[in-house]
Amino acid sequence: MRIGVLKELAPRESRVALTPDAVTKLVKAGATIVVEQGAGLRAHFDDADYRAAGAEIGDTTAAKAVDLICAVQCPDPTSLATCPDGATLVALTGSGGEPALAACATHRINLLALERVPRISRAQSMDILSSQATVAGYKAVLVGASESARFLPMLTTAAGSLTPAKTLVLGAGVAGLMAIATARRLGAIVTGFDIRAAAAEQVLSLGAKFLAPEAVAGDSETAGGYAKELAEEQQKKVLEAVGGAVAQSDLVISTAAIPGRPAPRLITREMVESMKPGSVIVDVSAETGGNCELTVPGETVVHQGVTIIGPLNLASTLPLHASQMFSRNVQTLIEHLRKDGELVLDMEDEITGAMCLVYQGARRHQGGA
């Protein structure tokens, strides 16, 4: 089985799909790995590291002339057109969208979308979204702290005592829980919010307060553990609960997301205007529209003294560890797909079938998580 690792060309992408430690393990298992020259440089892995791990270093054509092509972001249609017919690509497909899916179908490239790993126990070690959300949640707090006009921890100094910053984290999924833990480590007073009642125990276990969504009735969680989209009346009640907490916060980290849907709007213009000047909002959900009404994806705006940051691809800003985590997920997936040394795509398999968007020239799903 031959595996290729592509150099990422997408804007703001510094990660690499397979790191040298994963290459070492795959080579020992009998795979041949071809890494595109310079693929790991932005993640701080040079070609010598890959050679030492047992990989071949080649140009773009060589890295594509394989059974399985690995990338972080799905290549653009022009690049996909130069992949051999019948090749299989594993990548995140969000940035490519419909044109990439169409190109894969046209050129008979089998496409496995990494964001579609099912939330089942045996696929947990392949869950790219969770591993990268961990990175994003951590980095969001650091970004917010660096932009804040206040210290996060309580400080007692010769110049007097300073009270700790109040931090609110909206959404207690993987990114939100990591944000809570990071803000706590930095000494902030932290409150977590989620519409899922099951999240309360996790938030409290990290030493944060939980803003209970008392107004939300019924089951607000899908079978996969994600938050559901709320009815209009429920959404109004959630906004009422969140509004008071936002006004009292010095730093807000918003991570709320609904798979396959735009990010829920949780922070209105009026809420922003109720915050103290010098406060900061880091909207981790900016890529899917943002939780804040004033978020501009990819930009930082200041509204009445409040800084609103809409970061894109936060995980890529910590490229070394993000790549290592991403790579371990991909390595586990490859081991799942490899049978007797060969690549096997079984559409009846609950992991492979769920991930495969294009197979033998035919579209199987509409895409999305």
| pLDDT category of residue 221 using cuts at 50, 70 and 90 | low
CATH 3.40.50.720 domain range(s) in the chain? 2-116+318-363, 134-317
Q: Cα–Cα distances in Å, from 146 out to 3, 101, 297?
A: 40, 39, 19
What does pLDDT average to over the chain?
A: 92
**Architecture of the domain delimited by 134-317:** 3-Layer(aba) Sandwich (3.40)
Q: Per-residue pLDDT for 5 more than 90?
A: yes
Catalytic site positions: 119, 124, 127, 130, 226
> Does position 368 have pLDDT exceeding 50, yes or no?
no
Q: CA 357 to CA 364: how far, in whole Å?
A: 5
Q: Token digits for 96? A: 């490519």
Is residue 218's pLDDT more than 70? no
Note the pLDDT tens digit of each residue in 275-303.
999 999 999 999 999 999 999 999 999 99
Class at the top of the CATH hierarchy for domain 2-116+318-363:
alpha beta
CA dihedral (200, 201, 203, 208) in degrees, to 10, reads 100
Closest CA to 132 of 292, 295, 313, 276: 313
What is the per-residue pLDDT across 137-181, written as a single tens digit (0 to 9) for each?
A: 999 999 999 999 999 999 998 999 999 999 999 999 999 999 999
Taking 60 as the threshold, does the pLDDT of residue 223 lie above it? no
The mean per-residue pLDDT over the stretch 261-270 comes to: 93
> What is the reported pLDDT for 320?
98
Query: Per-residue pLDDT averaged across 345-349, rounded?
Result: 96
DSSP state string for 82-120:
TSPTT-EEEEE-TTTHHHHHHHHHHTT-EEEEGGG--SS
Residue 229 has pLDDT above 60, yes or no: no
Element (H, E) at 190: strand 189-193
